[in-house]
Every structure is written in C-alpha cells, then in structure tokens.
Structure 1
Amino acid sequence: MKESHHNSYPVVDNERLVGMVTAFDIVAKDWQDEVSGIMSTKLVVANENLSINDASRVMFRKGISRMPVVDEKGVLVGIITNTDMVRSHIERSTPNKVDYFKTTMEQLYGIKTTLKRMDVPTNKLRPTQDRVYADELEGRSYELKMGLAEPAIVVKTGDRWILVDGHHRAVASKQLGCETVDSYVVDLGQDIKLGMEKTADKAGIKEFEDIKIIDDDKHPLIAITESIQDSESHGE
C-alpha cells in the first residue's frame, strides 16, 4: 500500500473475490499474519454488466469510493472508483443533446435528417475546433482505454464527415491509433456547406494535425474554478 499509494486491496482465492483489506483494517485491527484475519468479507460488489448509472447510485447510497467488479462466477475482473464515475460523466453526448442538435440542423436548413450511431473512420473526420487542452486530452485518453468514452457528434453532409462535438475524444483516438471513432451521425442527406466548416476553413483547420494542443494553459473551466478558489482563500 505504501509503495502503490492505494489504501485498499481486493483479496482473492483462486481468482474469486473473498474480501477486501484496507489501510484502516491494518492500523485499527489486531495484528494478524495473514490478511484473511482482518479483511472485510461483507462487500458491495458490482456485476460486470451493471450500468454506469446504476453503479453510481449504489456507490452514492452506500457511501463507498470504490467497488469490486465480478463476473457471473464471482471472479474479480476489476474495481470501479469514484474517479471512473466522474470521468464517465464528463462531456457526455446525451440523447437530449444530440436530438437538440439534430432539430437545430433541420430548422436551420429546412430539411429532414437521419440519426444513427456508428463507427466513423478517424481519417475521414474533418475537425472544426482549432485547439484542445492537454489535461483534458489526458482524461479522454483514459476514458478510451477504460471503455468509458462517450460518442462524438458528427454531421455527414455530402461525402464529408464534420466533427461537431468531441474533439478531445477524436484527437485522443488518433493519438492512440484508433481507426474509428464511436459517433452519433446526423446525416443531412444532401451537400450543404455548414457555417462551422466555413469558420474552420478561415482558421486553416482541415485535419487533426492542424489542431493545437495547449500544454502550458489549463482548460478554461479549470482555470476559472481555481481563480474562484484563490479569491475565496484570500477573502475577496
């Protein structure tokens, strides 16, 4: 625990989860030579097919910060933490958000569109944002590796695939060598030059290599939050 900076570990017997031992168990309980003597055996566990939302509710109601995940045979397959939950809710492409964008396109151009979720080839995506932030990019990379990333929002107009929302996810996908990006695709059914395309043209943004990765600045929302905290700490 000291070396890994983790304050709890699952205990397994032949890969099956049998308990959990924490730093509190080691410090507060009478010393035992084996963890089986101090571990907690009454655990709240999640089946690997449990939805993220349901897992969030369980952890909130039980007041726990991490929860073992087991398969149908009780074999430990992972641990889900509060951090995982927070990351899974960052930049979520909710159905309401997608439907609102779809409706906006229809009203703006007087057309009927179709919506489907699909994997879009990364090299076909045309970005419309000129910068991404390194700290947020790191978060999106983590989500992709953990299978927590939300779909991007893409408009198909003519033979072009315009990336509307999810630039950090898309850039992270490209950096990780992913050939496709999970996306909600709003298909206009015809070739319409979008306003965001024109803006990207003026900015010289045509491919992911044109996007600047800002390393020395933190994301504006993070900077604003820290400014507020600084002001409060100084009594302003």
Structure 2
Amino acid sequence: MTEKVKVKDYMTREVDYLSYNLTVKEAIEILLKSKHQNFPVTRNSNLVGVITAKDLLRNYNTPDKPIKDITRRRLIVARPDLNLDDAARIMFRNGLKKLPVIDEKGRLIGIITNTDILRSHIERATPRKVDMVKNLLESEYGIRVTVKKYPIPIDKLHPTQDRIYADELEGREYELKKGLAEPLIVIKKRNYYVLVDGHHRAVAALNLGIDELAAHVLEMDRDVELGMEKSAREKNLITLRDIKIMDYTQHPLVEITTKLIRRRHLQ
C-alpha cells in the first residue's frame, strides 16, 4: 500500500510571522514590505492567532495599539502528520488558502498553502509516466533500468521533440515562477540526458535563466542507442535552442476545436 503524503512533506518551513507585542504601526511597515495579506501571530514561538491586512488598516489611526489586542484568536491549524488530502478538504470546506502548522507544543513550524497542495498532486502524477517509460525501455532493449530523482543541468539536455507551442510555453513559465513545475523525465547517457517528457518546461527554464530542474532520471545498466535519439539527430536536434516555438494558432488542438465549431455552425 502506498504511504499517504503528509502535510510535513510539502509545507513551507520558513514562515513569515508577527510577534504579538508589535504595534499596529510596526506591523503595517512589515506588511507593506511583504507580499502577504495576513500573518500568523506568535508569542515565544507559540502560535496565538492570525492578523489580516484589513485588521491592521482598520486600526491605522491607532498606530501605537499592540496587535495582540486585534489578533484573531480562533483559527484552524494543521499538524505535520495530517494527511495532505485531509488538509486540502479542510481548506476547501472552510474557504482557506493556507493553514498554519504547529507541533505538539503549539509552536509554529510551517504553513501549508493551496499552492503546496497543487504541487503535490502534480508531482504524484508523474511516477505513472515514469513507470511506463521504464517498462518500455526494458522490454524494447532488454536492459534493466533504475529510476532516481535529482536536479539536472538544463544545458545537458538533449531534446527529442522538435516543436513546442507558445501558449503552453507561457503556462510553463508561469508554473515555474510559482514553483509548480512537474519533474522532467530523462534518460541518463554518458555525458548528457535524453529528454523524454517536459520539453515546454525545459525551454521555459532556459528562458527564465534557471540552470537546473528536478527530474526523474532513468539510468540504464548498459548503454544502448535509443530510437528517439536517432530520430532527434535526423531532425538536427542537439540542444533546447533547436526546438521550434510554434504560434498557439498552429496548435493541433486549436485546429480541431476550430473544425468542430465550424461544423456545428454549418449544421
């Protein structure tokens, strides 16, 4: 049975918080320098409540008031061993975007967000693809394949797909900026990696100046010439810069959708 993923596996451990003895003025100054709309409030590392930007702005005219006087004391929290799916249900049912995570002594040790949960689902979907590629390699070439996961340098990737689409590339760049990128799937060769899945992500990383990406790496027990490598060479595909970026209107799904719309219009 697959072990269930816990909150502690995906929570952010470095949490921005406010000390309960700060004044409204001091808290607003911190708020203006941050990207957050609310903060956990702590006393001696223990979580005592939460305060929002609205709470602070409502008290703008009383800058010396301690924030402990306006801190919301009733809040929903998570424990690190809570199943991540259960945390997602709690957040959904209560309309929450994040949950503070506390230990058995009530100390703030992390925070779990909608983004963290989305990232977990993306990463958990990838192993099914990896198993499919692994089984295909072993049956096709009579080799044994070991799967590992670690970051790989972008400049060591050899692509096998000669074109990608601009709209999807934009989406992958957005995901990378948000930390939501699904790991690549690559096959390790002697001095490089054959890119099997994740061409849009790899080019997005190149465009953003990202040097490494997480990857599921398939390591073969002996070197063989892969059919996908031969096809790539025939297309003069050596580096990521050799991949053509197609306008979104040339995406095959756009063409199919257009045909369907026209067909329905003519009926």
For Structure 1 versus Structure 2, the TM-score category normalised by the shorter chain is 0.5 to 0.7
Q: Distance in 1 between matches of 2:252 and 2:120?
A: 20
2:15 alignment counterpart: none
Equivalent residue, structure 1, for 2:99? 68
Q: TM-score, normalised by structure 2?
A: 0.59
**1:204 maps to which of 236, 242, 246:** 236
Does the Cα contact within 8 Å between 1:113 and 1:187 map onto a contact in 2? yes
Matches within 5 A, 1:75-90: 75=108, 80-81=113-114, 85-86=117-118, 88-90=120-122
Q: Is 1:140 the equivalent of 2:172? A: no
Pairwise mapping of residues 17-28 of structure 1 onto structure 2 (< 5 A)? 18-21=49-52
Deviation at 1:111, TM superposition (A): 1.7
Q: Flag the 1:58–1:149 CA change in 2: closer, same or farther, 3 A.
A: farther
Match of 1:96 among 112, 125, 128: 128
Classify the secondary structure of the residue corresponding to 1:12.
strand
Alpha carbons 1:17, 1:75 under 8 Å: kept: no
Match of 2:87 in 1: 55
Instruction: Name structure 1 gaps, 5 residues minimum.
Output: 27-31
Cα drift, residue 94 of structure 1: 3.0
Shift of 1:53: 4.4
Partner SS state of residue 94, structure 1: helix
Match of 2:184 in 1: 152
RMSD: 4.3
Deviations 1:199-220 (A, max 9, x none): 3223332111122345655977
**Maintained 8 Å contact 2:51/2:70:** no
Matched, 1:10 2:39: yes
CA 206–46 in structure 1, closer or farther in 2 if over 3 Å, else same: farther
The equivalent of 1:29 in structure 2 is: none
Cα-to-partner distance string for 1:31-78 (whole Å, 9 max, x where unaligned) = x97887776432223467877545324324x34241133565745865
Structure with larger Rg:
2
Unaligned runs of 5+ in 2: 1-31
Matches of 2:251 and 2:99 in 1, distance apart?
32
Q: One-letter code of the match for 1:126?
A: H
Q: In 2, distance between residues paired with 1:113 and 1:94?
A: 17
For residues 144 and 68 of structure 2, what CA distance do their matches in structure 1 show?
63
Which amino acid in structure 1 is aligned with residue 164 of structure 2?
A: R
TM-score by length of 1: 0.66
The residue type equivalent to 1:162 in the other structure is V
Cα deviations by residue, 1:77-113 (Å, 9 ceiling, x for unpaired): 65623x5544553475533321221111101112222
Q: 1:219 to 1:45 in 2, by over 3 A?
A: farther
Structure 1 CA distance, aligned partners of 2:53 and 2:121?
A: 27
Q: Tell me, yes or no, if structure 1 residue 118 matches structure 2 residue 150.
A: yes
- Residue 49 of structure 2 contacts residue 74 of structure 2 at CA under 8 Å; is this kept in 1? no
Q: Post-superposition shift, 1:164? A: 0.7
Contact 2:159 2:237 survives alignment (8 Å): yes
CA distance 1:78–1:108, shift in 2 (3 Å): same
Query: Does the 8 Å contact 1:10/1:17 carry over to 2?
Result: no
